[in-house]
Amino acid sequence: MRVPKFVFVAAGALVVAASGLGPVTAAEVYVLDQKHTYITFIHDRMGYTNILGRFDRYEGEIVFDEEDLANSSVSVTIFTNSLSTGYARRDEDLIGPNFFNAKEFPEITFKSTKVVATGPKTGKITGDLTLLGVTKPVTLDVTFNKKAPSPRNKKIFIGFAAEGEFNRVDYGMTYLTNGDVQMVGLRLEVLAVLKE
């Protein structure tokens, strides 16, 4: 099976979440840990190899209700021009008008809308992904990793991982060359700390 054209990866954890359900006393608010969250992607270069890259700037907040995941929510903003693959010319192309078009659309956002638990530590989260000014629903398969205080500073952290995919052409990213893959695979792993 070929790797999709772009695979976003974020190391640390994401949250099983849903939004718009009102305040819940059991819910806790977390913010993404900027030092230990990595949002990266894999670019399938016409089937020859995969080019690795990342987004270095982002922010997000998680409302996590461990007792009732349906009362949880997540909101993440990625700053498009923070994309980096280690090759400046390619970076310029990817943030240019043929692909992410960072000048006109400086942010990529994801906001949750629904969550369904599928097991003790697994679930499905559906949310609105906004890319290139187009908003469409995306569903992620989510795994809860851990919630515990850090042995260093005793702050409470949570960790999740999530995977999904979407068709980039649906968002207007229609520039294609021979062997290009339209599907975008998503993988998010985000570490979040309890908000003080």
Q: What confidence tens digit (pLDDT) does each residue in 27-53 have?
A: 899 999 988 988 888 777 777 877 788
Amino acid 178: pLDDT: 62
Amino acid 138: pLDDT: 93
Q: How far is it, in rounded angstroms, from Cα 65 to Cα 90? A: 41
Q: What confidence tens digit (pLDDT) does each residue in 134-192 have?
A: 999 999 998 999 999 999 899 999 999 888 888 888 999 888 766 677 777 788 888 99
148, amino acid identity: A
Taking every pair of C-alpha atoms in the chain, what is the biggest distance, in angstroms? 53
Domain ranges of the chain: 6-194
Options 3.40.50.300, 2.40.128.110, 1.10.10.60, 1.10.268.10; CATH for 6-194 is 2.40.128.110
Q: pLDDT band at 10, cuts 50/70/90?
A: very low
Q: What is the 3-state secondary structure (H, E, C) of 120-156?
A: CCEEEEEEEEEECCEEEEEEEEEEEEEEEECCCCCCE
